[in-house]
Structure 1
């Protein structure tokens, strides 16, 4: 006995109208193709709606994270204004960073002679300093603002990020003149930031 002895007959295309579904209704090939086309169109429409819903949920979550109404309970002072706040729409991250610098200088300056000194006014003229202040700003915001803020991240920021930044501020990013008097170029030359270039 070989495979040829048990061949299963394959119906010709013209015989497809003779097939019955479970309800006993006969469907032609054209009817089935039309049904598949309608189902495909409906699936595509639902896919578009789902994408819109996912986008809307992401926007709501982003607003909730940026919303300063969700201030951490342990944050003793008002958060500095930021481009991510609803009322500051249209501002760039430089706006956020500049306000954080002012906040930092009001809150985190230590006793005379300590490493906890104010960020100098010439911070925009020191590329490495600007790069680090940017991450310092946004890690502070992530630790203190929005639904995902938590005291563990806030303490980590105070214990690790801020002291290490303070050390580099006085030892790497600026000239001592910048911290006590006026800007003096040192290290990397001033660079145009991308937000100004995009304007």
Structure 2
């Protein structure tokens, strides 16, 4: 009974969020700022990375669905490179079928993105499986072919990290290690995208 009540509450909140998003999207289009979206499995460190990049205190929690609304902030990268960055709801395997369409609705911002940052908890032994879940959902919502950077987060929690295993950017959103490389790649990718439009 509590689960059904929680699902009902989440659905109402998502519907309110949906109404506000269209207004925000129209404003962003007028400002002509690139949108970079953080996606990833629950507890991959998206909100911590968002906070590190935006230098803002956002909610960071291990609680499921603690980031329900898509948070969007304007930030400055490098000398003079403004972007919008969004933090989305964390993905999970076996989402209850009553919530599937509702949570896909919260990911509408991802489809509008110029660049997706796929955040992966490199310290999680199941990170390959969780990566596949995220990629499958991105494909299902129509964002499978978007420009994407893979960000292996929580590198500070892995003692013997083998950087040659994958073509991603390794960071620690907590310590800040690797964030300069990530920022440079974001600027490069978004710059390439805006030149090709």
- TM-score interval (norm. to shorter): under 0.3
Larger Rg: 1
The alignment's TM-score, normalised by the length of structure 2, stands at 0.26
The alignment's TM-score, normalised by the length of structure 1, stands at 0.26
Where is the helix percentage greater, Structure 1 or Structure 2?
A: 1
Where is the strand percentage greater, Structure 1 or Structure 2?
A: 2
